[in-house]
Structure 1
Amino acid sequence: MNEIIKQKIKELFFKNKGYATTKQISDKGINRYYVSTLEKSGFILKIKTGLYKWVDYDFQYNFELVDVFKIVPKGILCLTSALAYHELTTINPWQYEIAIERSSKVIIPEYPPIKLLYFSQKQLNIGITNIEVDGHLIKIYDIEKTICDCIRYRNKIGIDIVKEGINEYIKRKDRNFNKLMKYAEVCRVQKILKQYLEMLV
């Protein structure tokens, strides 16, 4: 492969913090044939149709998490995935749980493992915070919204995980019970949340 073209493509990936689309490459006047050549040679990895990652880019944190949000750019990290990020559970989730709007249509590749949760607009758009991972912005629910969502999905993720999450939340100095109860109202879990709190506090 022409080393000059390869270097030009590599610079584009590094400028975009490790990722590039076939359109971005084509816009540089580079034939898409070179994308296929780089993929076959192991220099780049296909994340989804039209999107690639430079394999040897110096990802410092969790490159898979960035991959997930390149696949589902409008998604929000939630449930046990958010619990783990906020250090509210000892479990290590085997899949990435991502909240999206109910009318969204997303094609999920075989890897990484992604579980989509379809939320109403009202429940989707509260409690969102942004974090930066290797220069890429990722949306995640804050600790209070995460607790409320876990209560909503308690029968799917497990009661023990919910109890552990609430117990760890209570220990935190940055907890905000007013915000927690506000979110609980929106998520319609006030009664159940109060029962958990009475049992654990």
Structure 2
Amino acid sequence: MNGQIQEKILNIFERQKGFARTKDFLNEGINHYYIRRLEYEGEIIRIKQGLYRHAKYEGNQYDEIVEISKVIPKGVICLLSALAYYELTTYNPWEHQVAIYRGAKKPSLPDYPPIKIIYFSETQYQYGIDEVEIEGNNVKIYDREKTICDIIRYREKIGIDIMKEGLRNYLQRPEKNITKLVDYAEKLRIKTVLLKYLEVLL
């Protein structure tokens, strides 16, 4: 392959922290032939139609979360995935849970990594969205307090034991913010349930 084209392709990935879309290549005058060839040779990996990751950027334990943020730009890492990211559970979720607004169009999902879409109401969706930087990429994730509120709301689905473990671990963290937690719980209408568990654990 033409060395100039290879350099151009690498520059695209470097500018975009390891990811590129088909239109990024086409805008630089790189046609579909080169994209297919690089994919065949294993230099680039197709995440889903029109979205690629450069093979040299593979290896970080949070790679999949970054990929998900590219696949679902308006999605927010939530529930057990957020709990695991903050190391508030020993449970290792087998799929990534991502929240989107209930009225939004369902995103097109790749075969891998496994993603579970959780539809939140407008109030549920908008509170507590934070951004973390992973390998130079910004990823939307609910903050710790919102994550605790969510696992309490969905305790029957995720399991009472996991919910209690998450809350207990959160309460032991120096960065906990009980005032913020109770404020979120009030806005999300789960304050009574939260206080019941806090009484037991505090």
TM tier, smaller: over 0.9
Task: Please say if residues 148 and 183 of structure 1, whose CA atoms lie closer than 8 Å, have aligned partners that are also in contact.
Answer: yes
How many angstroms apart in 1 are the aligned matches of 2:194 and 2:39? Answer: 49
Q: What corresponds to 2:97 in structure 1?
A: 97
Q: What corresponds to 2:197 in structure 1?
A: 196
Give the SS at the match of 2:12.
helix
Alignment of 1:1-201 (within 5 A): 1-57=1-57, 60-104=60-104, 105-201=106-202
TM-superposition CA deviations, 1:123-164 (whole Å, max 9, x none): 111111110000000111111110000011111110000000
How many angstroms apart in 2 are the aligned matches of 1:52 and 1:162? Answer: 36
Structure 1, unmatched stretches of 5+, are: none
TM-superposition CA deviations, 1:62-116 (whole Å, max 9, x none): 2111111111111111111111111211111111111111122211111101111
Give the SS at the match of 1:160.
helix
Query: TM-score under structure 2 normalisation?
Result: 0.94
TM-superposition CA deviations, 1:12-66 (whole Å, max 9, x none): 1122111111111101111121101111111111112111111113654521111
Give the SS at the match of 1:140.
strand
Runs of 4+ off more than 4 Å: 58-61
Instruction: Give % identity.
Output: 50
How many angstroms apart in 2 are the aligned matches of 1:82 and 1:45? Answer: 26
Give the SS at the match of 2:56.
coil
CA RMSD, Structure 1 to Structure 2 (Å): 1.3
How many angstroms apart in 2 are the aligned matches of 1:109 and 1:31? Answer: 23
How many angstroms apart in 1 are the aligned matches of 2:58 and 2:17? Answer: 9
Cα drift, residue 191 of structure 1: 1.4
How many angstroms apart in 2 are the aligned matches of 1:93 and 1:58? Answer: 20
Task: Write the letter of the residue equivalent to 1:42.
Answer: G
Cα drift, residue 2 of structure 1: 2.6
Query: TM-score under structure 1 normalisation?
Result: 0.95
Task: Please say if residues 45 and 52 of structure 1, whose CA atoms lie closer than 8 Å, have aligned partners that are also in contact.
Answer: yes
How many angstroms apart in 2 are the aligned matches of 1:51 and 1:170? Answer: 40
How many angstroms apart in 2 are the aligned matches of 1:84 and 1:61? Answer: 12
How many angstroms apart in 2 are the aligned matches of 1:68 and 1:119? Answer: 18
